[in-house]
Every structure is written in structure tokens, then in C-alpha cells.
Amino acid sequence: MAVRSSTRNPWFTVLLIVAAASVWGYNQLHPAAPQTKVGRPASEKSAAYEVHRSCTLVKTPRNDGDSFLIRLPTGREAEFRLYFVDTPESAFKTYNSGATNHERIRQQAADLGHITPEQVVEIGKVGKRYTLELLINRPFTIYTCWDSPFNDNRYHAHVEVPFDTSTRWLDEILVERGLARIKTKPADLPDGTPAAEHLSDLRQLERAAKQAKQGVWSFQTK
């Protein structure tokens, strides 16, 4: 038996080498598809953010100019709130607890050029209508890390919307049109732009909106 085994082993080794060479040669001629994301999938990771493309707006009375209910491509629905900006209240409200949003409206009035509470609500309606019309027209992309600072099931997000022939951040558009004050939590952008740099860009857009008397700044008399 030992003699027979010694005569087989060299041939067995040769066969293994031939088989391995064949597999290697096939892989060189027919390489496996690269493990990269093709076609910008609906959900992916981007630095600190989870990315959801092709999102759609869900109609609900709770939607406002800076917070809205969104349906993700997976079918999940969640309420998101913009980083950086706060749109004016679109109505005077009294809640079941007896509390109101009147003090918040007064704060917004002071930040937006010391206008009247009624003017705040007027521009709040415009901002709400503008945002919701923008989101309802075409699918958009959100970037979120699912932080809910007030534990109210509203999550911060950067929202990227189709605009003209490109895409833009929704918070930029709102400030540019005088429909929001620069307020709430800042955060680095998904493309790596530091929060401080984006905040500086928003301040510049706000100055231009004031000079052009866009949106809320049209109420200023000086």
C-alpha cells in the first residue's frame, strides 16, 4: 500500500495545481463585479449620516416649513426636522394643556427684524406652503443620524432637494428667500463642509435676503 500511495501522490498534486491554475485564469478573464454601490442606492452610509434617497412627503396637518413627515424608500415613515433653521409659526395655537405658542412667535418676531406677531404668522404660512410644495413635487434625499434632541420622535436631518438643474440644501433655500431664521442645531454637512463654514454661508445668504427685502425682510421699513 505504501508503494501505491507514493505513485499516486505526485499525480494528485499535479491535478490540484492544474485546477487552481484554471480557476485563476477564469477569474482573470471574468472578474467578479466590484463591490461598489452602483446607481446611488436608496439607503446607504455617508460618514456620520444614514442616507435615504427617493424619499417622499407624507401629507399630514403636522407638516410645517421646517419639519415634516417623510416616507423612506423602505416604507418607514418618520418625522424630520431641519438642521440650522427655524421657519416662523404658521398659526397662533393653544394646546390641550392650555399652553400656547405665542411666546415663541414673539421670539421669532424679535429675531426677524422686530416685526409684529401677525407678520410672523403671515410669513410662516408662506414658508410652510413653499416647503411643502417643493417636497411634494419630486423625490428628495435626507441625511440623518436619528438624533431626537427633545425625545419627541422628530429627528434632525439635512434635506437635499432637486432645484433647477441641480440639487440644493433646503435650509439654504429657505434662508435665501427670507422664509426662515438661522436657529436650532448646526451640524457638519454630509459632503464634509464644517458646520461653522455652512453657518457662515447661511449668514451671507441672510444678508443678501435682507438687502433684497426677500420674504420676512420685506416687512422692515428701514
Q: What is the pLDDT along the chain (222 residues), one digit of tens a residue?
A: 444 444 445 554 544 454 455 544 444 444 433 333 333 444 465 668 999 999 999 999 999 999 999 999 999 999 999 999 999 999 999 999 999 999 999 999 999 999 999 999 999 999 999 999 999 989 999 999 999 988 889 999 999 999 988 999 999 999 999 999 999 899 999 999 999 999 999 999 999 999 999 999 999 765
- Round the average pLDDT of the chain to a whole number and report it: 85
The pTM is what?
A: 0.78
For 18-37, the pLDDT digits (tens) are 445 554 444 444 443 333 33
One-letter amino acid for residue 65 of the chain: G
One-letter amino acid for residue 34 of the chain: P
Q: What is the DSSP string of 3-70?
A: HHHHHHHHHHHHHHHHHHHHHHHHHHHSPPPPSS--S--SEEEETTEEEEEEEEEPP-TT--SSEEEE
